[in-house]
Each structure stands twice: as C-alpha cells, then as structure tokens.
Amino acid sequence: MGALTLIVLLPLLGFLLNGLLGGRLGRTFVNVVGCGLPLLAFVVAALTVRDLAAAGYPAVIETVYTWAAFGDRSFEIAFLLDRLSAVMVLIVTGVGTLIHLYSTGYMKGDPGYARYFAYLNLFLFFMLLLVLGRSLLVLFVGWEGVGLASYLLIGFWFSDPEKSAAGKKAFITNRIGDAGFLLGMFLLWQALGTLDMDAINAAFAAGPVPGLSAALVGILLFVGATGKSAQIPLHVWLPDAMAGPTPVSALIHAATMVTAGVYLVARLSGVYLVAPEASAVIATIGVLTAFFAATIAVVQTDIKKVLAYSTVSQLGFMFVALGVGAYGVAVFHLYTHAFFKACLFLGAGSVIHALGGEQDIRRMSGLARRIPVTFATFAVATAAIAGLPPLAGFFSKDEILWYALASERGGSTLLFATAALTALMTAFYMFRLLWRVFMGASRMSHEVEHHVHESPPSMTGVLVVLAVLSAVGGFFSIPHFLEPVLPLPTIDPAMEHFHVPLLVLSVALGLTGLALAAWLYAGDASRAARLEARFAGLHRLLTGKYYVDEFYEAAIGRPLEWLSRRVFLGLGDRILLDGTLHGLAGLARRAAGGFARIQTGSLQAYVLLGLAGLVLLLTWSLGNG
Amino acid sequence: MIETALTYFFTVAAVLGGMLMLVARHPMRAALALVCSMLSLAGVYAMLGVHVIAVFQVLIYVGAVMIFMVYTIMLLDVRDPSFTRRWSGLLVPGVLGAGALSAVIAWALRDAGDAPASASTEAFGVQSFAVTFLEEYWLYFELSSVLLVAAVIAAIAALRAGGGRDG
Amino acid sequence: MAEQQFLLAASAVLFSLGLLGVIIRRNALVMLMSMELMLNGVNLSLVTFASAAGSTEAAVLVFLVFVVAAAEIAIAIPIVLALARRRGTLDAGSWTELKG
Amino acid sequence: MAEATLLNYVLWLPVLGMAALLVLPRGADAAVRGLAFVVMLLQFVLAAWLYGQFEAGVAGLQFETRLPWIADWGVYYHVGLDGMNVLLVLLTAFLGPLVVAGAVNAIRQDVKLFHAMVFFIQFAMIGTFVAQDLFLFYVFWETMLIPMFLMIGIWGGERRIYATLKFVLYTAFGSILMLAALIYLVWSLYEERGALSFAFTDLYGLDLPMNVQAWLLGAFALSFAIKVPIVPLHTWLPDAHVEAPTAGSVILAGVLLKMGTYGFMKLGFPLFPEAAVAAAPLFMTLAVISIVYGACLALVQDDIKKIIAYSSISHLGYVMLGLACFDLLGVQGAVIQMVSHGLVSAGLFFMVGMIYERCHTRDLAAYGGLAKAMPVYSVFFMVLTLASIGLPATSGFTGEFLVLVGAVSAGWAQHVAGAGSTTLVLGVMAVLGVVLGALYMLRFARLFLFGEERLPGGHAVADLGLREKAILAAIVVAVFWLGIAPAGPLAKTESGSLQFQQLVLGDAAGGAP
Amino acid sequence: MNWQAVFIGMLPEHLLLAGALLLIVVELLSRRPPDGLPLALATLAAAFLAALWLAATGHAGEPFPGQLTVDPAAFAGKAVMLGLAIPVALLARGELEGPRPYLLLLFSLYGACLTLSADSFLTLFIGLELLSLPVYVLVMAGMRGPGSAEAALKYLVLGGTASAMLLMGASLLLGATGTLAIASFAAGLGAGTPLATAGVLLVVAAFFLKGAVVPFHAWAPDAYQGATVPVTAYMAAIVKAGVLLAAVRLFGEAGVPPALVAPIALLPLVSMAWGNLAAIRQSSFRRMIAYSSIAHAGYLFFAFLGAPEGRFEAVAFYVIAYGLMNVLAFAALPAGADDAAADRLESLQGLYSRRPYAAITLGIAMLSLAGLPPFPGFVAKFLIFRNVMEAGYTGIAVAGLLASYLGLYFYLRVLQFAFMGSASGETIPARRLALGASLLCLIPVALLTFFPGWLLERL
C-alpha cells in the first residue's frame, strides 16, 4: 500500500473503529483512535511531502484499483500528489488534527462522543480522497462524502428538528451544485475519455478539444463549486450549517470542506485558462458573494453566523482570485483562511463553551478579562482576517486585491473596487464582533457571569497554535510555491505602478474598519443603534439576508410541494390515472349489470335474443355476400 | 294442374293454420289450429308425391303427438291466467324479428332452383321407401329406437323428478 | 313464382311463425306447439327439396324429425306439468326464478 | 453433477422445495421455515457459484440447457446465463433466504402456504431471467402473477384485495398484448424462415417492416412498462407495496420490477431495433418523467411504504434512461442500477417491516427521533437511505452515475453531431432529478430518524435483533460491494450490454465507445 | 355390410349401449333401485379404453359409408369425452340417486360419440338429440330447488330451437348441394350463393346455440345454475366438448371464407366479452361458471377462423383442458353445493383454512380457466389465438385476447374467497368421491402443465 493510500485510509480506520466499537470501549479509546489516526495521517503526509520536496516535487501517482472498465476506457481509483495537493493534504490533516484535539475538550460529556469522532474521521477520510484524488471521479466521491459528513455533523444533535433540517438543507443545496458538477464531468468523459485531472488539464492545454467547449465545462464544474463553497446562489446552506458543533463549523464549514470548490477550480486550472468566459463568471460570482455576504455579516447578532457569512465572503474572495487567473493566490488565501477562520471559530466555540451555550453577541461583552487566552487568539485571528500586516490574511488578501485590479486575465477596476469595499466591511464586522464580545463593560447577569470560565488546555492550546499560524502563515508564499503547477497571470503593465499604493490602501482599509467598529460600538453601542434606526429598511433587508431563503421557498419549495401534492398526486395519480382505472372498472361493472338485466329469466326473451342473433347473422352475411 | 292448385291451397292452409294457432286464445283452439296446419301439410306432401311422409305426418304428428298435447291441455286448469292473456310482452319485437327472419330466408331461397316440384314420386312410394329405409338407412331405424328408449327413460325420470321432492 | 319457391317460402314462414309463437305466447303448452310448428316448417322445406332431388335420405331425415319431435314432447310435457303444478301457472313468462 | 446443468438446479430447487413442503405436516411451522431457509440458502450458494464460474467477456450463453418442450411449435426448454441476466439471477437468489428469514415474526398465518409461495415466486422470477425461449419466458413471466397475487392478497394489509387485484389486472393487461405481439412475431418468423421457433436468437434476426416493429414494440413495451413501472402506468405499485407483507414488498421491489426493465433489455429493444431507436426519445422522456414524477410523489407521502414505493418508480426511471440511451456505460449502469435498486429498496422494505412489527403503523407522522431509540436500526437505515440517494461508494451511485454518464454523453455526442438535442436535454433533466432523490429521502430520514423522539403508542421498542441485523448486514455488504468495486460485476455483464447494444444499433455500434 | 367394421368402428358406442341395457336389466330385476355407479364406471372405463385404443392404433373405417365413418381423430374426441365422463360420474355420487341418472349419462354419451362419427346430417342430428335429450332431464334430476324444472324447460326449448335451426340449415344445404352429407356444409361454405350461405349460417347458429354463444347463450346460466353439480360439470365439460368436436367435423377441411369471417368471428368475440363481464356480478358459483363457459365458447369458436389443419388440435386440446378444469373446480366445491345457499360464492369463504387441498385444486382450476400459465388453459388459449393470427386475422385475435383479459377478474375473485377470506367456524364437508374425481383430473393437469407437447404431438 502506498503512502497516499495509507494517508487516506487512516481516518477511515478511525471511523470504523470508533463507529463500531467506540460506544463500548470508552472515551480514552475514542480519543486515541479519533485523534491519533488523523495525527498519524498528518505525520505520514508530512513525511511524504518531505520526500517529495527532496525529489523536487514530481507529481506522484498512486493507482489503487480499477473501479470500472469499459473497453479501453476505465475509471481508475488513483491518487495524485503534487505541490497543490501537498498543500491541501497538510492543511486538511494538520488543521483536522488540531480540531480533533480541540474537540476532545469541547465535546466532553456529550452522549454521542464516539459517534462525533467517528463522523469527524469519516470527514477527514473523504476530504483526503477529495484532495488526493487524481481523477474527477475520486474527487467527486470525496466531494459527496464530505457533504455526507457535513450533513451528519450539522445534524449531530438530531433531536432538534431545526438542526436536522439544517443538515438536510446543506445536503440538498450541495446536491444542486453537484448536478452541475456531474454534467461537467460527463462532458469531459464524453470528449476526452478520461476523468484524470492531470490528463484533462493537459488536453485543454494542448489546444481546443473537439466537440467540447471549455467555457461550458468550466461553468458546469463551477456550479458544483458554488454549492460546496457556498457561493451565490447556493450560499444559503452555510449559515444554517452553524447548527452543528462549533469545531465542526471550524473544520468543515470554514477551513476545509467549503474550500473544496476553490481547490477544484485551481486543480482544473487547465480548463479555466482556456475558458475566459467561465473565469469571468467565477470572478463575478465571487465578488458578488464576497460583497453581499459581508453586508449580511455586518448586522448578524449570532457569533457563529457572523463568522459563517464571513466565511462565505472570504470564499468569494478566493473565487475572485480564481476568476482572474491567480490560482495560486486563491490557494494562498485558502491556506491562511484555514488558520484564522479555524481559530476564529474555535475561539467562538470557546466563548460559547464559556457562556454555557450562549451565541447571541448582544448578550455578551467584556469577556476579554474572563477568558484572556481566547480573547488574545481571537484578536490575532480577527486582525488577520481584517488584513492587518503582517498577519497571514494581509498577504493573501492583498494579493487578491492586486490581481483583481491588475491581472491580465480579467482584472478590472470595478472588480477591485468591490473587493476593496468588501475588505473594508470585513474589517468592520470582525472588529465589531471583537468589540461586542470582548470589550466594554460586562452586561451579563451575575449568574451567567459566575459560570464564565476559560476553556481547558486542550482547547486553548489549539487556539494558540492556530493563532500563531494565523500570524506567521503569510510568510510562506504559497503562490510562489505553487507557481510550477499554477502559474500566476501576467500583470497588466499599465497597473504595474499601482502595487505600492494598493498595499497602503489595503492596510488603510483594515484600520478604517477597526476604527469604525471601535467608534460605533464604543460604550453602550448607542451610535450603532442610532444608525440602525436611521436605516431601518436597509437593516431589515440585511438581517433578513436579502430574503433569499424566503425567495427560494416561494419560488421553488412551495411550487414543488404544490406540484407534487396537488398536480401529481391529486390530479395525476388520484384523478387521472386511478380515476381512469376506477372508471373502467365501473364501466365493466355497469356492463355486467346491463348483461344481467338482459338475462331476465323469461324464456321468451331468451328465444327472442336468439332470433335477433339469427337475423343479424343472416342479414349481415347475406347482405355482404 | 289441379295438383298444383291443391298444393298451393294446402300450403296456404298450413300457413293460415299456423297463424291461427298463434292468435287462438285457448290452447285447445291453438292445438286444433295446429292439427289443421299439420293435416294441410300432409296434403302438401301427398301432392308432392311423398306419400310415406304424408302418412307418417298424419300418424305420428296428428295421431300421437297432438293427441298427447290435447290430452295434457284437458288435464289442466283453464282458469290459469295464461289461458286468458295470450301475449307475452315481446309481441312487437317478436313479430318484427320473425318477419325479418322469414323475409331473409325467403330471400335466400329466391333462386333455389326451378326443378319441378315432384320429380320422382317413385322413390317415395311406401314400398320402395320401406325397402330403401331398411336396406340403406337401417342405421337410423336402430338409432331412432335407441333415441326412443332414451326418451322413455328420460320421460320417466322427468316425471319422477317433477313429481318427487320439491322445495 | 315457381311452386318450389312458394313451398320454400311457406316453409320459412312456418318456421318463423313457430319461432314467433315461442316468443309471444305465454302459455307453455302453446309454446311447445309452436316448436312443433317450427319443425313442421323444416319438414316442408326438407320434403320440397327431397321430392325435387328424389333424395330418400331427406325423407329419412323427416322421419327422424317425427321421432325426435315425439321424444321432445314426451320429455317436455312432464317438465311443463311439474312447473305448472309447482308455480300454479302455465305462464312461461312468469317462470323467472333463474335470472341475472 | 455436470456443471452445465447447474443452472437447472438453481431454477428448479424451489419447486423441489414446494414438493418437500407438501410432505411436512400442517402446523410444523418451525420445520417449514427451516426447510425454506435451507433450500433458499442452497439456491443462493449455487447461484453464487454459478456467478463465480461465469466467464466474463464471453459472448453468448453459458450453462445452457436446451431441450424440446413443445416440439410441434418449436418451443424449447432453453435456459442459460448471459451477461444480461447473470447478476439478476444472483440478486434473486440472494434475496431468497433473506425473505424467508425476514418473515419469521411477520408471517404467522398459513406458514406453509406462504413459503410455498415464496418458492413459487422465486422459481418464476429466476425462470423469467434465464429463459432463452420466448414461450418459456412468457410462461414464467405470467406465472409470477399467481404467487404474487396470493402473497399480497392473503398476508397483506387492510386493502389487500384491492391492491392485489389492481396489481394483477394491471400487469395482466400488458401481458395480454404482449401475448398477441408474441404470437404475431413468431408467426412472422415462420413466414420468413418457414420454421417455427421461439428462440430469442432466432427472433433477433427477424427483419420486420417499421410499422410492424412499432406495433409489436408498443405491445411488448406496454407490458414491460407496466411492470417497471413507467409513469403513467404506475399506480398499481404504491398500492401493491403498501398492502403487501414485507416479504411481498421485498420481492416486488427487489426483483419483480426488474423483470420489466430486463424485458426491455432482453426483448423489447433488441427484437425491434429500428423501432426502438426511433422510439428511444419517447422512452427516455418517459424515463425522465418517471424519475421526476416518482420523486415528487415520494416527497409528499405520509406513508413510509409509499415513499419507498414511489422512490422505486423514480429509480427505475434511471434504468430505463440507461437502457434507452443505448450507450455502453448507460446500459451497464442500468444493469447495476437494477441490482442496486433491488438491494436498496429490498433493504428499506425490510426495515419498514421491522419497524411495523414493533409499532404497527406506517404513518410517518407517528414516528420521530428513532435514532435515539434504535441506534443500530438508524445506522442501517441511514446507509440504505444514502445508497438510495446514490451517494458514492454505494451501489446506488455506481448505477446512477453510469446511467447518467451514458445518457449525457450519448446526448452530447448527438448534439455535437447535429442529430438533435433531445437526449441531451433529457439527460440533463435526469441529472437534476438526482437532487429530488436526495430531497425526499432526506425528508424521510429527517422526519423518521431525527427530531424529538416519538414512537407510536409511546412504548419503548427494542433495537434490532441478531436475525434482523444479519439480514440488513448482508444487504449493506452487497450495497458497498457494488459501490466500491463494481468492476467485477461490470465485467461479467459487459458481454450482455455489448450484445444489447449490438442488437439494437447493429454491428456498426458494437464494441467499446 | 361389413360387420367387423361396424363392431370395431362403433365399439365405444356398443359398449355404452351394452352397459346402458345391462343397467336397465339390472334395474328391472332388482327390488330396490340399484346403485348405478359401479356399472356406469365400468362401462365408461371400457368405452374410454376402447376409444383410446382405437385412437392410438389409428383405426379408421366406414361402418356405414356416407352415414357414419370413423377416423383416429373421432376416436380421440370420443376418448376425451368418455375420459372426462369418469370423474363426472364420480361426482354424481351423493347428488343423484338410483341408476337412472347414470343411464341418461350413458345415453347422452352415446349421442356424443355418434356426432363425432357423423358423416351425414342425419347422424349428426340424431347424435345431437341423443346427446341433449337426456341432459334436459338430467338438469332437473336430483333437484333441490324449484328452479331446476325451469332450467330444464329453458334448455329444452332453446335446444329444440337449435335442432330446428340445424334442420332448416341442413335442408337449405340440401337444396344448395343436393346432398345431406356433412360435406355439404363445407361445400356450402365455399359456394357463396345466398341459399348455401343461409344454410351454413343456420347450422352455425344452431351450433352457437348448443355451444352457448351470445346471443344464443341465454339458456346456459339458468341451466347451469338449476342443475346439480355433476350435471353442470357434465354440461360444461362434455356437452360443450361434443358440440365443438362435432363442429370441427362439420367444418372438415373447409376454411371460413373471408365474407363470412366477420359474422362468424363477431358473435364469439361478443361472447367472450359478455360472458367474462357478466360473470363479474354473479354470486352463484355455477352461474358464474356458466358465464365462463359462454366466454370459453367464444374462444372455442374462434378456432374455426384458423387454418383447417390446426383446428382439431386446438379444439381438442382446449376441450380437454377446459373440461378437466371444470371438473376439477366442481370436485373442489363443498358438498351440498346444490342448495342455492351453498352454491353462493361466499360459501367458499376461507376454504383454504378448512380444506386446503380443495382450495388449491379450485385455485388451479380457476387460474387455468383464466388462461394463466403455466396451467394447460394457457396453452389451449395460446393455440387458438395463434391459429387465428396465423390465418391473418390479427385484429380479431387481438380483440379476442383483450376480451379474454376481461375474465381474469372473476376467476381471481374465486381465489379471493377461497384463500383470502377468514373462515367462518363451521367446517365445509367434502363431497363424496371428490378426491377420486379431482385426482383423476389433477394427474392429467399436471402432465399437461409440464408436458403439453406430448399431447399436442398426438392430436
């Protein structure tokens, strides 16, 4: 068994052990298996990547078996390790392991403890399939698998109908995207006869593929990505997905799974490089998502929802980068985002944990002193996401803004301006969060305040690690590292000299956001309240999340229900089909009744009947003959 | 010539007798009408030269069957409603149907051949017929005896069943 | 009209009259007589053809018809009598216990 | 025991079983169950062995037996395995012992008759699959109605009479037209060749004018479509499923419905290739309508059995789609989808039966939060639900994926070649149908397993027992086998799919894409 | 006169007659009415074996040239009827008393055998009369309800009408062809003159009436319902077989000319639909079977549309299968089913739980009558419709198949009562000797199910 297979299978083993035996063998066993195996996977991955580095990062392909074969075409189950998947594997196993560790503290005492770790391991297994798969098929298996794990984990506390509904919504929304993904995949298969992504890239790089438009394939695959990465119009599931345990939100709905779409597009950069239309679509969707999600985040009051919309927004940023051809930059942001968003979510988890489940930021304040470690790490991560130098987010976001402006592959001022505005809002809503939760005087009741306590070391330790990574992660230049596989777009020469001003602007945006938040939410946040009152309509629109859910419900959900219940079931099955049947049966019964009436019992009538038959026979045939 | 005329006469009489039977109210009158009709037919047969059949017609039909019939009628209660109300409810459709039937059969018979009605009276003389019957067609003689035995047994069984247990 | 056709037409009429009698007469005995009339109609046609063709066979068939007619009546009368006794009427139209 | 005749043993073993049942005294229920289980297990073992021995990549029949039956008419007792039926025979034999095991608690009345009927059905179904003579096929095809009629009618629910009559009358209607077409077909063969024969291989080569083909295909297709069932000929299915006992539902969903799609594959399309090609858009349209319609109806059902029943309509729509696109992947996918649906829906019906035995209601609203009360049950249920949705690594995915690949790529190829876009549009719609599949199954799972714990009658229920676990585990293993490593089964069925393709499209299209 | 030919060629008839006469003598000699069953059974068995032997050895002869000739097909047909009569006679035990019913049975069979050897209308006529006359009386024999005599009269009057129609037709054919040999019918079919056609149609109508084809069917439901179980079985199985086999002989090698196809096909077609639909609402088992027989008469007369060569095979196979199924069904009925109350279908409720064997045989009979495979009824139906279709009448065959479909429901309804109803407490008594009768049917049914080809090759 090759190393890649081993990496993938280790979490699966964890899932099986925990799933089958975990409930019976106790917490220690669950911990050892649940955290140990992902850690082992991380170690193996790190060692493999080290070997790879020593060899100068050749693409390693490991074929496991043939899934299905048709003549000379076949679906192989194979893994591919190159620079891109190396980054992803390390993020997934690394952050994954950290979050497993964190969970041992966070989930302590939960009756579904073993089940939780089983699910989490299952998630890792599928995520690794996703990032290591050589063929789109394997990627798709992982893709759907992480969706499943996400579904299970969102609905982890299934007794709450809302939570299980959120899980279902996530799954369904993803499925819609998957339909596009599948279509794209089918077209590729049809035209190329292979789903191996390296082969696909190569084929498109070699020139136009006969009978297949790269733009179409690109857009279809991107539809899949919008589902998984919560882009407009399929973004609605992610905020609801916060129903799951917070570490899950950190791992799946912030750091790893939701970035799968980004990974997909980056992985298939060969297609998008020759499909400028598709790239334009991606950039547009990305920036719109980033912008609108940010506006919603500004008014959210649930700590996790703020982070969720922030995630959506940040993913939008990544797609902007993808849309302008800066694939490496998108992965760079993915990478930094994994750290700081995981840190933020886990920090939020720590806050929630400290407050015994409270998630509404309006009932939080002044927590900085009570839970200092959490506060410190949260602050670092906030600064990182806001793009304050020299934290990780600064580098990645700056590069995105830069390429949005200057890339020759679709960069534009409008794109840049929207992105910049979004960056400003990002800084604002993040600092707003920080302010409301940690700063100011305590507004909590004594009882609650009494319970507030710092989280156990298993949790704070992870927070610290992630905070450090958020702080220094930016110094490892992913775009540069990935350049051999994901070349960066050329820069519009006219924009060359705007690079330095842009750096300044970027920093300024972050600081402005900080200042704005500090000003508005200083003291009892009365300024913010006044502002809300002033723009009540806008505020309602934003807190209502642009009523997209309601729109979907009205435009799709209810019509579908109506169609199914009234038209298909009522009219179709009951009236038209069964009605016809029963009508025919009734007709037969009526005919039978008619025949019975003819059979009067009177001998004379019988003879008359015979006479009639005789006359009929004779006249008919004599008339014919 | 007179034979032809008689043939027509007897034929018309037979048909009239049949009609009379249908309209006669009392069964006894109907039976008499039928006897008339049968005797007329015997006349027709005789005119056609089929003397044997004419004889049988008188002997078997009139002599045996109709006597049996009349005897039965006399046994029965004449106050029975069926004696006073002739027609069933099917008079009109029945007449129409029967009319149509006779018309259609007659139409089919329209070119039944114009051979003279009495070609070879020789074959139907009593003697020659008897000889032929018993030499060539004795099988039917035997079979009719089997039939009659069966009929006798059946009649006895019917009497027994009809007169026996009843619900 | 040739004599033969006339006779045959008469036979058809007699046959039809017999059938008609079965249909329109209530009295069961008259019905039986009508059946006899039907057979007589047949006989007439048989004899007509027989005499035309000189077919002894047909005459034998007429003889058989006589026998069968007698046999039928011998069986029918007890049945009718049984019914008349049981139902108190000879009206065949009222014997409608079996129907439907 | 000569290997070549082994298939006959598989086929006739149930008949021997019936004979053995006659000997057992009345009331010896345990003995009856034991005997039935052993016989069924033996049948499965033999079938599995046959499957193992079945050589992949060999065109034509294996384990063939051909004996004159009605020699005057050229009717032969002709059975054999080929790529089209090998997997279905295995599936049928696989479900046999499970059905017997699943009926231990559910069937308490007329136990002997019940098992005799299981044997009977098993015999008729396997016979339908292995028959290579049209007359023999029809005999098995129709025979199957009898035990099914009794099974639903005797051991079914409240409206069982209505349901079973509807089932039989509906199906028999199609069959009668098929009979007419069959006679006509054989007569045409006689006209052309001067010899009477019902052999599939002889009939395949028949050269019929287009309008005749269309009529005959219509008659065959009606019969098969009712059995599948394809919307709008489906209304018997929900009733039959709802009223049938668990064993009946399992057999119905597990195998019986596949007889329809198998019919299309083995007979309907290959016998009338030109008409089939011409009518393919129609069949694909109906398939897509079935997919969507079935899914939509499953979405609004309140009866747990009806949900699965309507889901069957939807899932078999994929099979039809795969067959009617005539693409190798599509056809192969259709075969796998048949088996997959057989496993998954059988498993789900088993599960519904298990809960029904405990709670005595099928009303979805009466249930909730089963995951807490019956965790093991819920895990199995979830696995089967996901397989039904077509999650990768389950058999459902293999089937759906290949079907959709086939349909869309065939459609795209036509589109690019300028031969119209109907297939493509339908393929795309079918892909969207995948979403609906998730929608109704997850709704089901959410209301059934999740939410507040709520059980009919409020009393506690026991989780699955060992017997029940074993049944479901067997199914789940098979589900994963087909999901994770379908290459083996696909290799065995490839010769059949290629033959199908070649028969329909002619020699030109044979071989790999 | 070739006495040997007469002796051998009419051996079954002779045996029947001898048995009947012996029975009369025994009755006359004994003080109390003797039990006719053993002697009747012996006679039937002897006659059956004789017919079978003659059929198997391929005996053909002309005992009375131009009047009565025999061939292997005729012997096969006789064997069918005589063989079916054995279980029917067994069923009579307990229903009919004394030797007379058996006597009537033997005479009726004598007539049935005659019709199959008929070479002229005289023989055919007397054969049919001899077949029918005893049955008119049998219908009212052993009657337990007031309807029996009514049934007998209805049968008699309509039967007599049929005889008259047959004779009328024969006489017209005589006029058209100058002969009363049955070949005149075949000649008349082809002649195309109005006279011949009218003759042919009158004869056909007579056969339709005897065979109970709509609209000449009306006597059948009443007669079947009014008669006792063995007599109903006799009418359904043997009388129908006799009429149809005689019709096959009558048609001979002649095909139906295209001009006559429509009228000849139409009435059987209507019969199928009518019988099958009217049976739906019946609550009397025997009446339901009567309607079923009306429908089956339709199938059987369809056989005449097919090519002449296949006709005998089709009809013979059909009447064997059909007769076996009817006897099987009647054997499964509970004893006392002659009472109107016990004749109701509801009295079969829960039959399986009380008498599983009877329920299963009844079920097999119903399914086979419905024409469902694998039972012989299917092969029979297949054979007929195949012949029709091969003759080129595709549309008619399809319409016929559809009409046959309509019958499925009421057959299944019987199964529904027998298997799916809950049993009321009382036990259902089995009829005497029913086991023997049903075994006598079941064995051939099983053989025909698994090896229909064996019989088809020999017909």
Q: What is the pLDDT of residues A80-105, one digit of tens each?
A: 988 888 889 998 999 899 889 888 88
How much is the pLDDT for A356? 80
Min distance A590 CA to chain B CA atoms (Å): 25
What are A473's two structure tokens? 């992660």
Task: Give the model's confidence band at B167: pLDDT under 50 very low, under 70 low, under 90 confident, else very high.
Answer: very low
- Does the beta carbon of A445 lie under 8 angstroms from any beta carbon of chain C? no
Instruction: Work out the minimum CA distance from B106 to partner chain E, whole angstroms.
Output: 9
Residue A510 has what pLDDT?
Answer: 87
pLDDT value of residue A3: 85
Asked whether at least 3 C-beta pairs link B and A within 8 Å, the reply is yes
Chains C and D touch (3+ CB pairs under 8 A): no
Per-residue pLDDT tens digits for E8-19:
889 999 999 999
Q: What is the pLDDT of residue B78?
A: 63
- Quick one: pLDDT at residue B86? 76
Interface of E with D (CB under 8 A): 352-353, 356, 367, 372-374, 378-379, 382, 385-386, 389-390, 394, 397-398, 401-402, 404-405, 408-409, 412, 415-416, 419-420, 451-453, 456-457
Mean pLDDT by 10 residues, chain D (513 residues): 80 94 86 94 95 88 91 91 93 95 89 94 95 94 93 91 93 92 91 89 89 93 93 91 92 93 93 92 94 92 92 94 91 94 94 90 88 89 92 92 92 87 90 89 89 78 90 95 92 91 74 40
Inter-chain contact A604–C93, Cβ cutoff 8 Å?
yes
pLDDT in tens, A355-381: 887 888 888 877 878 888 888 898 889
Q: Does the pLDDT value for residue B82 go beyond 80?
A: no
Of E161, E197, E409, the CB nearest to A625: E197
Look at B95 and C20 and tell me if their CB atoms are within 8 Å. Answer: yes
Cis peptide before D229 (omega within 30 of 0): yes
Q: Which of residues 130-159 of B touch C (CB under 8 A)?
A: 132-133, 136-137, 140, 144, 147-148, 150-152, 154-155, 158-159
The DSSP H or E segment spanning C63 is helix C56-87
What are the residues whose beta carbons fall under 8 Å from the beta carbon of A594, sequence distance 6 or more? none
pLDDT of the residue at D513: 39
Residues of chain E positioned with their CB less than 8 A from the CB of B105: 168, 172, 198
pLDDT bracket for residue E146 (50, 70, 90): low
List of chains touching D (3+ CB pairs within 8 A)? A, E
ipTM of the complex: 0.92
Measured between CA atoms, how close is A618 to chain E, in angstroms?
6
- For E430-445, give one letter per residue: b (16+ CB within 10 A) or e: bbebbbbbbebbbebb
Higher pLDDT pick, E337 / D422: D422
Q: Tell me, what amino acid is at A268?
A: L
**pLDDT tier for residue A27 given thresholds of 50, 70 and 90:** confident
Say whether pLDDT at B71 is over 90. no
Angle value at C-alpha E206, between E203 and E209, nearest 5 degrees: 155
The minimal CB distance from C98 to the residues E147, E156, E157 is found for E147
* Residue A446 pLDDT > 80: no
Question: What pLDDT, on a 0 to 100 scale, did the predictor assign at position A551?
Answer: 87
* Chain E environment of B97 (Cβ under 8 Å): none
Domains of chain C plus CATH, in order, are 2-92 (1.10.287.3510)
Shortest alpha-carbon distance between residue E139 and chain D (Å): 35
Contacts of E133 in chain C (CB under 8 A): 71-72, 75
pLDDT at D511: 40
B98 close contact with A: CB closer than 8 A = yes
Are E412 and D149 a contacting pair at CB < 8 A? yes
Interface with B, mutate which of C5, C24, C45, C85 (most B CBs under 10 A): C24
Backbone angles phi, psi at D75, to 5 degrees: -95, 130
Identify the pLDDT of residue B107.
85
Q: Does E226 sit within 8 Å of C72, measured CB to CB?
A: no
Q: Is the pLDDT of residue E418 over 70?
A: yes
As for how many domains chain E has, the answer is 1
If you average pLDDT over residues A434-446, what whole number do you get? 77
Give the pLDDT score at E93.
84
Mean pLDDT of A448-469: 83
Answer yes or no: are the C-beta atoms of A609 and A600 closer than 8 Å: no
Question: What residue numbers bound the domain in which E280 lies?
Answer: 3-456
Chain C's closest residue to A593, CA to CA, is: C100
A402-418 pLDDT per residue, tens: 888 888 888 888 988 99
pLDDT at E406: 92
Rg (CA), chain E: 21
| Min Cα–Cα distance to chain A from B14, Å | 22
Q: Mutate which of B143, B144, B148, B160 to test chain E, going by most E C-beta atoms within 10 A?
A: B143
What is the reported pLDDT for A582? 93
A residues 572-611 lying closer than 8 A (beta carbon) to C = 596, 599-604, 607-608, 611
What residue in C sits closest to E137 (Cα-Cα)?
C75
Cβ–Cβ below 8 Å for E416 and D169: no
User: Crossing angle of helices A499-520/A372-386, nearest 10°?
Assistant: 140
Å between A587 CA and nearest CA of chain C: 18
Question: Tokens 């990780």 map to which residue?
Answer: A392
Q: What angle do CA A318, A323, A328 make, to 5 degrees?
A: 55
Q: Flag if A69 and D450 touch (Cβ within 8 Å).
A: no
Whole-angstrom distance, CA of residue B61 vs CA of residue B154: 20
Given a contact cutoff of 8 angstroms between Cβ atoms, the answer to whether D343 and D98 are in contact is no
Segment E66-86, tens digit of pLDDT:
899 999 999 999 999 999 999
Would an 8 Å CB–CB cutoff place E221 in contact with chain C?
yes
Task: Check E161 against A620: CB less than 8 A apart.
Answer: no
Reference E37, options E112, E94, E78, E109; nearest CA is E94
Question: What span, in angstroms and rounded, lies between the C-alpha atoms of A190 and A185?
Answer: 9
Q: Which chains does E contact via 3+ CB–CB distances below 8 A?
A: A, B, C, D
pLDDT band at E1 (very low <50, low <70, confident <90, very high): low
Task: Work out the percent of chain B whose per-residue pLDDT is above 90.
Answer: 32
B130 pLDDT band, cuts 50/70/90, is confident
Q: What is the pLDDT of residue B123?
A: 65
Which residue in the set A159, A172, A568 is minimally distant from D296, CB to CB?
A568
- Give me the torsion for CA of E320, E322, E328, E330, rounded to 10°: -130
- The alpha carbon of residue B33 and the mean position of all alpha carbons in its chain are separated, in whole angstroms, by 12
Number of cross-chain residue pairs from A and C with Cβ atoms under 8 Å apart? 35
Residue B165 confidence class, pLDDT cut points 50, 70, 90: very low
Question: Cβ distance D406 to A186 under 8 Å?
Answer: no
**Residues from chain A contacting residue C41 (CB–CB below 8 Å):** none
Q: Do A608 and B107 touch (CB under 8 A)?
A: no
pLDDT band at A211; cut points 50, 70, 90? confident
* Cβ–Cβ gap C68/E129 under 8 Å: yes
Whether residue C33 lies within 8 A of chain B, CB to CB, comes out as yes
Q: What was the pLDDT predicted at C1?
A: 53
Who contacts A532 (Cβ-Cβ below 8 Å, separation ≥6)?
A299, A539
Cα nearest neighbour of D328 on chain A: A70
- Quickly list DSSP for A62-103: EEEEEEEEETTEEEEEEEEESHHHHHHHHHHHHHHHHHHHHH
Q: How far apart are alpha carbons E341 and E345 in whole angstroms?
A: 9
Choose among E150, E171, E221: nearest Cβ to C42.
Answer: E171
pLDDT recorded at residue A535: 87
CA atoms within 13 A on the CB side of D478: 25
Give the pLDDT band of residue B76 (cuts 50, 70, 90): confident
**A311: pLDDT strictly greater than 80:** yes
**Using 50, 70 and 90 to split pLDDT, how confident is the model at E337?**
low
Closest CB from A602, A615, A622 relative to B97: A615
pLDDT of residue D457: 72
Q: Output B161 or D389, whichever has higher pLDDT.
A: D389
